């Protein structure tokens, strides 16, 4: 969570090697919101890559709920489909 606050405050945290969550860890398709870990697993990227993409405005569907970051699953899936179509 500190990474998100650092990102929003423009403070870069020290680089840390992170592992990408396994795609099996992604919740079933009926879940409305994805966590940061869920989205990283879905995209098969690290948290730091996700935060860089967010900073560049490349990731849609981000919500902040009570200080927690979530992503709207349908928005992310529509974005991914549009990326695949080119």
Residue 77 belongs to what domain range?
A: 2-85
Place of tokens 């490349």: 58
Query: Are the C-beta atoms of residues 40 and 20 closer than 8 Å to each other?
Result: yes
What is the per-residue pLDDT across 4-48, written as a single tens digit (0 to 9) for each?
Answer: 555 455 545 445 455 555 555 566 666 899 999 999 999 999 999
What's the domain count of the chain? 1
Provide the whole-model pTM: 0.65
Total residue count of the chain as it appears in this document: 86
Average pLDDT over residues 52-68: 95
């Amino acid at each position: 969570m500190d990474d998100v606050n650092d990102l929003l405050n423009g403070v870069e945290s020290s680089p840390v090697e992170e592992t990408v969550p396994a795609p099996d860890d992604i919740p079933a398709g009926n879940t409305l919101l994805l966590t940061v870990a869920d989205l990283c697993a879905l995209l098969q990227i690290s948290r730091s890559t996700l935060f860089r993409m967010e900073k560049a405005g490349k990731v849609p569907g981000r919500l902040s709920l009570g200080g927690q970051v979530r992503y709207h699953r349908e928005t992310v899936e529509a974005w991914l489909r549009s990326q695949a179509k080119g």
